[in-house]
Structures are given as C-alpha cells and as structure tokens.
Structure 1
Amino acid sequence: MAGEQLIELAKRRGFFFGSNGAYGGTAGFYTFGPRGAALKRNVEDAWRDRFTLKEGNHEIEAPTVMPEPVFEASGHLDGFDDMLVECGECGVSHRADHLIEDATSIADAETLPGSEVELLIRDHDIACPNCGTPLAGQDVEDFNLMFSTNIGPGDAQPGYLRPETAQGIFVEFPRIKAYARGQLPFGVTQIGPAYRNEISPRGGLLRLREFTQAELEQFIDPEDDDPPLDRVADVDVRLYPAAAQEADDGDYLDTTVGEAVADGVIGSAWVGYYLGVAQEWYERIGVDMGRFRFRQHLPGERAHYAADCWDAESEVGGDWIEIAGFADRGTYDLSKHDAHADDSFTVFKRYDEPKTVERATVDPDMSVLGPEFGGDAGAVAEALEALAERDPDAFDAETVTVDLPDDDAATVDTDVANFSIETETETGEHIIPSVIEPSFGIGRIVQTVLAHAYTVDEIDGEERTYLELAPEIAPVDVAVFPLVSNDDRLVDLADRIAGDLRGHGLSVAHDDSGSIGRRYRRQDEIGTPFCVTVDRDGLEGEGPDSVTVRERDAARQVRVPVDALAEELAALLGDGDAASFETLLERYDSVETDVEAA
C-alpha cells in the first residue's frame, strides 16, 4: 500500500490527521481521530498485557517535564543531536543525513561526521527539497532535539520535555527498587508521550515531534540473572545481522531465538528473550511477518555503552522503518545518575556465604594535619583514604605523598596517617544493575498495522477495500444495523442490541444511513470484525427472534438468536481462548444473501 493511500484513508476514516489544520497546520504533530484513538489505545493495552502484566513487571507514570540536571546526568544536553543543514535561499532546515540517504546508497549517514556529510552534499549536487537551491557550501551543524521550558515563574528552573520515557524510570529507581524489595531481576514499564524537536518531520506517524513510547527497563545482575529463554527458544525469527549487512552477498538469517543465542548471533540472552516475546506479540496484533525483521545495529550506529542492539523493522510503503529497539545498555544509565544525584542507584547483593576480607584503612591525626596544612587538611585526609584503598603498598615507606585537587601535593609521615589493615566480615555488596531496554514506538506500530491490514478483494463482482485488523486492536468491535430505517420494530431492536453489547464491554457502532451494502463497506474500511443486521426475517419466522452476524474477511453470515448474541460475540472477541467464527457456522444456520452489493 502506498503511503499516500494510507494517509488519505487515515484522514477520511478518522484514524489520524495533521494537527491544527484550522491554523495552517503544525509539522510533526498529528491528532488521532475517533478510530485512531481507539486503535492506538487497543495497541497500548495489548502491549501492557504482554510486557507488564504477563511479565509481572511494575508500571509507573512519570512527568513529561523534567529539570535540567536530569539531562546533564543522562548526557542528552551534550549528545542528543541531529545534523542540520539550512538552505541559504529559502531558510528551510533539513536533516542532512536524510538528504544523503535519499540521494545515495548510504543507509546510515547519521553515523558520519559532519565534515564528511558536507562533502557528500557537494559531491552529489544535493539541492534544497523546498526550493531547489544547491546546498553545497552550507555548514552542517549539530542541533539538539530537546524542547526547553522553564519550571516556575521569575528566576525559573530550566527544564526540558522528556525526549524518551526511560529517564522517568531511571530517575525514580531509588524508590522503585524499594517496591521491588531490592530483589533483582525486576522490570519497570511506562507508556506515555515523548518529545523531540525534529528538524524535518515526515512520513505520517513515522517521525513526529510528539509521539508515544512504550518502554520496559529490565534491571538485572548480569552475573547471576538469566532470562527464561526456554519460553521463546523455539520462536522463529528473521534476523539481519551486522555482518550480513556489511557483506556484498549478505542475506537474512532465518533461525530460532534459541539457536541465535547459542550461536552468538544475538550477543545477549536477555535481548534474545525479548526479541522472541516481541516476535509473538507483533504477530498477535496483526503485523505481517513477511514484511518484518530484526536488524542488528552496525558498529557505527550503536551507542558506545550498548553491548548489543537490535531494531524491529517493518516494511511500509516500500521502506523499512524502525518500530522498536532492543538494547543491552549495561550500567550506563544508573551509573550516570548515581554519580550526579543525591541518592543511591545501587542494590544490595547478598552473598551466599559471608566473606572475610582484609581492608586497608587510615585514621589521619588531624591534630598534626591541621596546623601543617591549614584549610587543605580535610583534602589531605580524603586523599590518604583514597590512596589506602587504591595502593596500600604506598604506606610501606616512612612518608607518603598524595595529590590534592588544586594540583598541589602533600607529603605526610606514615605514622601520622595511622595506616592499618583490618579484617571485616561482609554479607554482600552494593552493585549498580545493568539494564535491558525494549523500546516501542506506538505511532509507528499503528501505522504499520494499518498498512499491513490494508486489503483489496472482490465481493459479488465488486471491488472492496477493507482493513484486516486483528480483532483485539480493531477500533470498533461490532456494528449494528437495522436493515431499513423506516421500520420501528427493526430500529428499536437494533438500539436494544447495541446497548446490550456495550453492556458486555464491546465497542459498538450503530449505523442506519444508506444501503446495507454501503454500511458494510464503511465498516470494512475501518476494520470492524463483525456486523449485526436486524431484518424482518429474523422477527417474523418461527422460533426466537434472530439476527444475522457477518464476519469481515470472507463476508460470511450466520443467523444467531438475539438472546445468545451478546455472549457469542463477547466470546469471539475475547482473549484468544474463545471459539472461532467457524463454530457459529456449525451451531447456527448460515445465510446466503445478495445484500452485499445492494
């Protein structure tokens, strides 16, 4: 399905559309319409069910605005940049690396230095997409993607809209670990908005300035904690390893999660575990597995702290797009906050058996250090303590010399330092956990499932367009129609049925406008799994009142008693343990009708 077709369908049927159209629109911001908001919410609920509830994880909801020190610690202030090039003629800014990728065969231009990107712009005669003016000679600059704000009035505290939900989890780790009783491993999830001031938003929901993330931070002790890999060991996956991407004849590797971890293709067993979980989840919500892969990050695009990183990618409109990332982030995040914040980001790891250790200590005689070093006496004492821990042998001589913060040195008699070796019994140690992070872009997943669900077939000699959405995420569960709108019996029963179905927790559309065939087509185009039609035959025949139930994909129909309807549909739309539509065809009379083309 072409991207233009999807965007047109999304706008016409109320899935999503550009925001603030009455004021000329604002690039990078999209509004989810009635159908899109429901679909997005269903995707989020399905994610929460799999990655929070079924994994036994904790879920939090942190603020979207955070103070500047958070992002100083995380590194976002200094390193969260994209490459910007501005047209000298029209003044429009562009992502320089995207221009390179669009004009050349280079797939990862963001990993190149700015000077090399400038040369590529010149050598390939790349022009401004807006006005056509050549961009050769224009500087390529780093542009920080965070939205800044002020917290409070007057001399306000500087802050930023979070560029990812993860920092809200990391910052609150000292409190969250208490809820987990300090026992590793444990996971924390969060679903919510994030903000990035993208240079050139594009592709519908693919690159936005405000978007929704669903992230899981799994905190582990890499020495002791292993994932339950056996649960997904046999899950089939299509991998695109870095070595295959760099080879002239590289190709996909079709394997299982267990084999890929055992062979070292996936370097982290935890990453492998979540690739398997995600593979099954994507299939559950309707992603086409023939247009899906896991691609390993190339060395140049992998963050310096990431031991291994893979992206889930889907094919949309002829392009491969990232819809999730899976990274082994090591201790990087918690170590940064532990060094900058006023709290502890460690957990206590208890030993199986207490350990007896020898520890070098000093107890400097401050009555000597004070008169000799004055205001530097405290710094000298701290330097002696650090040296004892780092190099106990330095205290074997009669004097010991330590470096002070102002680049001076201080020499102290060893007996003044009161150096000694003490024996202690330790029951454990404080460690900083490692982090495994699966991070999902909800908007990109919504666009993927819409693109993959888009189907064209023929019913009764007439072309039909419909969305083959998984019932779990379809924005409407059931549509209810009176066959005609001028018969009060049909209209009243349709109203009663709609209310009864809503009472069973189903999302119901009620439509009595136009021919029944057109109503079916409208529901098909938004992916409604089932349509219920109230007709005279169901009220005037022998036996209890009945209605027809039509399933979307093959347009088959079956007549079901009104009294049994709600329970039957609730079962069909349940959690996967329910019977299929085939069981209705076995228990009730099928209906042959020509109203499809009416």
Structure 2
Amino acid sequence: MSNESPSAVAADALERTSERLVELAKRRGYFFQSSGAYGGVGGFYTFGPQGASLKSNVEDAWRDRFALEEGNMEIDAPTIMPEPVFEASGHLDTFDDMLVECPDCGESHRADHVVEDNTEYEDAESLPIPEVEEVIAEYELVCPACGAGLAGQAVEAFNLMFATNIGPGGAQPGYLRPETAQGIFVEFPRLKEYARNTLPFGVTQIGRAYRNEISPRRSIIRTREFTQAELEYFIDPETDEPDLEAVEDVEVTLYPAGEQAADDGEEIRTTIGEAVESGTISSPWVGYFLGVAKPWYDAVGVDMDRFRFRQHLAGERAHYAADCWDAEALIDGSEESQDSEQRESTESSSGYWIEMAGFAYRSDYDLSKHAEHSEDRFTVFRQYDEPKTVERATVDPDMSYLGPEFGGDAQTVVDGLETLAERDRSAFESETVEIELEGETHEIPLEKTGFAVEEQTEAGEHIIPHVIEPSFGVDRLVYTVLHHAYREDEVAGEERTYLALEPEVAPTFVGVFPLQNDNELEALAEAIAADLREAGLAVTYDDSGNIGRRYRRQDEVGTPFCVTVDYETLENEETTVTVRERDTTDQMRLPVDDLAKTLSALRTGEIAFEDLEE
C-alpha cells in the first residue's frame, strides 16, 4: 500500500484536506451537490464521470469479494415497498431521530447531537426524550446555527422514512426503503428455495436507500439518498459455524464497548482469532466477516493506520441488533467537519471517525416479524440425524358446535385452540377451555375441542434462521478512499496535488498522450488507446496543452499510469513508448507490442512498476 499514516502528513495539510478534496471533487467530476441550477437541495449529490466510475469499481470489488468469492447470491429488489413491510420490521415505530427546532431561525437539529457536542454526555441517543429536554434546559444549550436558546423547546421523535403512495388515490401507502435489507427479508420464502432449503446461505444486494435526515452535512458522508452494499447471511445458530481458520490471523484494531465506557479506555490491537476466543467479539460469525472485511478495505485503498472496528454501545444499537461492530475510518478535522456527530464519529486530535459499515447479529428478529405479520413461511427444515419420537398436543375441534356458536369467527377460534395446545397444555386440564375473541373470553367445552396428546415420529423441525449482516455504506467508502488517497507534494519545483488511488478502483487506469500535435504521433497514440480499451482497460486520451499539464491533470484524478508517444517511438527499431507511474513520477520505456499485457498485470498487482526493468 502506498498510503501514508497520519503522522507522515503535515498537520496543517491534514486540517485542510477535506476542504480541498471537496473542491477537487467538484472540479474534476467526482461529486457535487445535485440540482445546482435551482439552488441545490441538502442531502442529495450527483456523482460525476470520475465519481460514478470510482463508485462502480468499488461496488464491483465488493461484489467480487462478498458475493462471488463467498458463494452468495445477489438480488435487486424495488426501492419502494408497501407499508405493512415496515410495520412488521419495526421501522414505523422505532426508526426515529430526536428533533429540536430553533425558535428564532427555524433550523432543525438532532437534539441528541446538540447535547453530545456541548456536554459530557456521550450517548445522548439512548436517553428518553424528556431527559434530553431537561439536559438542554440545564446546560442552556443554544442553536448551532444562530445561537438562540433552545431551553423549553419541545424535542420530538422524527421518523426518517420518506412516505409515498402506491397507485392513484393514495389507496396503498408505501415508503422508500431506509435499508436494502428488507427487500431480502420479505423475499426469504422464495430465496430459500433457490438455496435448496439448505443453511447457511447468503443473499447480497447493492442499491439505493433513503433516509430523510434532519441535518444532512459533510458532503457525501451524511445524505438523504445513498447506496448500500449489504449481505444477509442466514444460519442455523445451533449447527452452523464459520471458517474462522481462514481469518484467525487477520490483525485488527478494536474499540470494544467496555473500553469506550472506561475513563482510561483505549483501542485494542489483536487478531480475529484471539478476539473471538477471549469473547471480545462474542459472535464467531461477526468475527469471521470482520476478518474478511479488513483486508478488503486495505485492498480498495483505506489507510489501515486510520481504520478500526468499534463496538456499538447498548443505547445506540438498532432495534434489531443483538450486537454490532462498525468499520470506522479516521478523517481529518477540517473546518467543514467541526460540528461533530458523536454517535458516528469520535473526536481525535487529528480528526474524527466516520462509520463506513456495520456488522450486526440480527438474530431471528426480522424473519420472525415477517412470519408474524404475513401469510408466508419464513422457516427452514432442519433434518435430525436420527428420527425422534415426541409428544405433540393436537386439537380436532367439533365444527358442528363451533360453527353455530361462533359463525364467521369459527376458524379464528380453531386457530386459537391450535396455538394454545402448542404453547400451554395445562389450559386443557379443566372441563372448559378459555379463548379470547375480540377482547371477550369464551368458554368452550373440553370435549368439543378434540384435544389429545399423541406420540409422533419426526424427521426434523422447522426453524427460523438467524441473520448475520455486514452492511456497507458505498458513498462513505468512496469519500474515505478519496480522502485517504489525497496527496500534496512538489515535483521539479512545482506543487502537485494527486490521488494515490489503488489501480483496482481508479476511475481511469491509463492516460495516453501524443507528445506534440503531430499527425503521425497522434495517429499512433489513438491506435494505442484503442488497443488498450479493447484489452479492457479504462483509458483517457489527451492531446491538449503541454505534457506537464496533462500529467498533472491525470495525477489529480488519480490515474495510475500515463503513456506518452514521442519521436523516439517512431525512430527506434522496436516501437516503444514512455510509461510514467503516478506516485513516484518515475518513467520507463516499454515495447508497444506487450503494453496491454504489461498494464493489465500492473492493474491486477501481478507485477510492480519498479520490477519491470528486470
């Protein structure tokens, strides 16, 4: 890796990196605020030609590692889903942030962030709303925008989902999905068939998600529309175990909840195997995916000296998560980033930490909820090693009695009797059995229920799988990759800005230039560019301005290599070109006949530029 650690970067350069990066991103076509012709709208960004390519390359790298290499399937579900999906998942009731509105300027703010930024409270999100209101009053907290007092202002729960209507007339309410996961969970009854009803199996999805953030900020770090890459891995918690040997030696920096709560708490440097064995990472499955993710982050360009896994505190875990670890990256503390968000970023002397991914143990929460609210089956059959003889309580109700007695509710009564027999046999020990129906208790004679306890031989049982979820924020990762790749140096007495992007994800891999505006040079350069494109490489052709300026342009967008066609190319017996490496600016002459093959090997890492002379 060519990334430098924070200690190797001058402090003054570090503090201005974010500001300069955002300016570079706009100028060179990485990302910029959307709808600029109409004044822009907060929380929505457009990825330009360079950014869209970088984002696509990152997504392809994720797909290769977490779908193809792991043997998982991929789906593409709709971004709008009907209201019952989110009733079942709990998002309608629990997917809220705390909002406080300034009485003077009308600006809305995350109340828990206002508290965390200005008091000693580090986990205000876990406090009840009345207590947050008391803290705001006690500390006389003010509006971050205009300085007006917020004491006495109501703090309200604000649901982050975008609402819409499906079809005309608003007959069917729906929501833009706040996560791609629900699109996987609701299709589980069909997806398990594709997996031949065999656990474990994984389903991935890369797509858009939407959250109506109260105060989006920090360019593409916190937006209202973003891309997620998620894996839902379904397991049998009693029998399935991960291949920990494959990742046990992966070295990681961990920040467990206990260390965060301690006055002298600090990060722990260990291995995945040691962390799982000691119980620091309680779930071996979560440990496995942390071990898979760490080298992948390294490969796409995240600086490992500015990377860690932080465990969620109890108060900040999502409603579905039994445990969760975030992959975090350290970003500099520039002026645009001073309004710290404590839940997702912890202040550091050299910057702040942002969440790039969450690795959650969701247990059977999601599938159980959808099984409860829907009419489908969210279970998988677990085969026993040997058939078992078990006692089962059954009912065979007398419908000639229930029909006249309960009319259209007779089937509801039957369902209630079946559930009661399964859960509480003692309810059938009296002469009558009590059933609740629309808030009223009804007594049914025992002989009319057909209750019996029978011995049955079973080959297995239906279980609801547990879910392990690695959920990656693609936009935040793109920002981190750009931020960690940002460099400033001096070449031949001139200041230079460049992006040290990894070849695998760089939006343009090679620039091809004729040295001068010469018909023969231009024709050969265009032919070389065409050959390289045919070989599958991302190529840009540039014949504008002097060669130094062309190099600088490509350096600034992160192009790893540049090929220059000069007069020596035409004069030598063997046709060669000058190949320049971005980070070192070293140059080497290489034969044109082998150019595509050589550059392809450089992109995949099969060879290094400095080894080419050999």
TM-score, with length taken from structure 1: 0.94
Number of equivalenced pairs? 581
Alpha-carbon contact 1:345-1:432 (below 8 Å) kept: yes
1:178 equivalent to 2:193? Answer: yes
Deviations 1:359-384 (A, max 9, x none): 12233334455566677665555444
Q: How does 1:39-438 map to 2 (within 5 A)?
A: 39-317=54-332, 318-369=351-402, 381-397=414-430, 399-438=431-470
**Residue identity in the other structure for 1:337:** H
Distance in structure 2 (CA, Å) of the matches to 1:450 and 1:381? 62
**Residue identity in the other structure for 2:257:** A
Measured after TM superposition, the shift of residue 504 of structure 1 is 0.6
Distance in structure 2 (CA, Å) of the matches to 1:482 and 1:373? 89
Alpha-carbon contact 1:380-1:410 (below 8 Å) kept: no
1:515 equivalent to 2:546? Answer: yes
**Residue identity in the other structure for 2:355:** E
Match of residue 458, structure 1, among 481, 485, 490: 490
Match of residue 584, structure 2, among 554, 566, 569: 554
Distance in structure 1 (CA, Å) of the matches to 2:139 and 2:405? 69
- Provide closer, same or farther for how the CA distance between residues 371 and 285 of structure 1 changes in structure 2, counting only shifts above 3 A: closer
Match of residue 10, structure 1, among 12, 22, 25: 25
Report the 3-state secondary structure (helix = DSSP H, G, I; strand = E; otherwise coil) of the residue aligned with 1:201.
coil
Match of residue 496, structure 1, among 527, 539, 558: 527
Distance in structure 1 (CA, Å) of the matches to 2:404 and 2:168? 48
Distance in structure 1 (CA, Å) of the matches to 2:407 and 2:523? 94
Deviations 1:430-489 (A, max 9, x none): 11110000000000000001110111222223332211111000110000111112x111
Distance in structure 1 (CA, Å) of the matches to 2:429 and 2:120? 64
Match of residue 537, structure 2, among 506, 526, 530: 506
Q: How does 1:23-34 map to 2 (within 5 A)?
A: 23-34=38-49
1:582 equivalent to 2:597? Answer: no
Alpha-carbon contact 2:413-2:437 (below 8 Å) kept: no
Distance in structure 1 (CA, Å) of the matches to 2:153 and 2:375? 44
Report the 3-state secondary structure (helix = DSSP H, G, I; strand = E; otherwise coil) of the residue aligned with 1:154.
helix
Distance in structure 2 (CA, Å) of the matches to 1:70 and 1:348? 24
Alpha-carbon contact 2:111-2:132 (below 8 Å) kept: yes
Measured after TM superposition, the shift of residue 202 of structure 1 is 0.3
Distance in structure 2 (CA, Å) of the matches to 1:267 and 1:333? 20
**Residue identity in the other structure for 1:172:** E
**Residue identity in the other structure for 1:169:** I
Alpha-carbon contact 1:384-1:402 (below 8 Å) kept: no
Alpha-carbon contact 2:105-2:146 (below 8 Å) kept: yes
RMSD of aligned alpha carbons: 1.8
Alpha-carbon contact 2:417-2:435 (below 8 Å) kept: no
Q: For residue 594 of structure 1, what is the aligned residue in structure 2? A: none
Deviations 1:119-151 (A, max 9, x none): 332333332233332222211111111111111
Distance in structure 1 (CA, Å) of the matches to 2:502 and 2:466? 36
Report the 3-state secondary structure (helix = DSSP H, G, I; strand = E; otherwise coil) of the residue aligned with 2:169.
coil
- Provide closer, same or farther for how the CA distance between residues 356 and 483 of structure 1 changes in structure 2, counting only shifts above 3 A: same
Query: Is there any run of 5+ residues in structure 1 with no aligned partner, and where?
Result: 587-598
Measured after TM superposition, the shift of residue 304 of structure 1 is 4.6
Measured after TM superposition, the shift of residue 190 of structure 1 is 0.3
Report the 3-state secondary structure (helix = DSSP H, G, I; strand = E; otherwise coil) of the residue aligned with 1:320.
strand
Measured after TM superposition, the shift of residue 546 of structure 1 is 1.0
Measured after TM superposition, the shift of residue 94 of structure 1 is 1.5
- Provide closer, same or farther for how the CA distance between residues 377 and 21 of structure 1 changes in structure 2, counting only shifts above 3 A: closer
Higher relative contact order (CA 8 A, sep 6+): 2
Alpha-carbon contact 1:84-1:143 (below 8 Å) kept: yes
Distance in structure 1 (CA, Å) of the matches to 2:123 and 2:228? 23
Report the 3-state secondary structure (helix = DSSP H, G, I; strand = E; otherwise coil) of the residue aligned with 1:90.
coil
Match of residue 471, structure 1, among 499, 503, 507: 503
**Residue identity in the other structure for 2:394:** T
Of 341-350 and 126-135, deviating more is 126-135
Deviations 1:50-105 (A, max 9, x none): 00000000000001111111111111111111111111112221122222233234
Of 452-461 and 235-244, deviating more is 452-461
- Provide closer, same or farther for how the CA distance between residues 31 and 377 of structure 1 changes in structure 2, counting only shifts above 3 A: closer
Alpha-carbon contact 1:379-1:404 (below 8 Å) kept: no
Distance in structure 2 (CA, Å) of the matches to 1:274 and 1:8? 35
Report the 3-state secondary structure (helix = DSSP H, G, I; strand = E; otherwise coil) of the residue aligned with 1:300.
helix
Deviations 1:491-543 (A, max 9, x none): 111111111111111111111222211111111111110000111122213x2
Query: Is there any run of 5+ residues in structure 2 with no aligned partner, and where?
Result: 1-13, 333-350
TM-score, with length taken from structure 2: 0.91
**Residue identity in the other structure for 2:515:** L
1:563 equivalent to 2:578? Answer: no
Distance in structure 2 (CA, Å) of the matches to 1:58 and 1:173? 12
Q: For residue 596 of structure 1, what is the aligned residue in structure 2? A: none
Distance in structure 2 (CA, Å) of the matches to 1:274 and 1:5? 34
Measured after TM superposition, the shift of residue 422 of structure 1 is 1.6
Deviations 1:193-228 (A, max 9, x none): 111111100011111000000000000001011111
Report the 3-state secondary structure (helix = DSSP H, G, I; strand = E; otherwise coil) of the residue aligned with 2:168.
coil
Report the 3-state secondary structure (helix = DSSP H, G, I; strand = E; otherwise coil) of the residue aligned with 1:585.
coil
**Paired-residue identity, %:** 67
Deviations 1:319-359 (A, max 9, x none): 10000000000000011111111211111111111111121
- Provide closer, same or farther for how the CA distance between residues 365 and 171 of structure 1 changes in structure 2, counting only shifts above 3 A: closer
Report the 3-state secondary structure (helix = DSSP H, G, I; strand = E; otherwise coil) of the residue aligned with 1:474.
coil
Distance in structure 2 (CA, Å) of the matches to 1:559 and 1:265? 53
Measured after TM superposition, the shift of residue 26 of structure 1 is 0.5
1:545 equivalent to 2:545? Answer: no
Distance in structure 2 (CA, Å) of the matches to 1:329 and 1:498? 49
- Provide closer, same or farther for how the CA distance between residues 436 and 374 of structure 1 changes in structure 2, counting only shifts above 3 A: closer
Q: For residue 481 of structure 1, what is the aligned residue in structure 2? A: 513
Measured after TM superposition, the shift of residue 401 of structure 1 is 3.1
Of 86-95 and 366-375, deviating more is 366-375
Distance in structure 2 (CA, Å) of the matches to 1:415 and 1:315? 70
Alpha-carbon contact 1:354-1:428 (below 8 Å) kept: yes
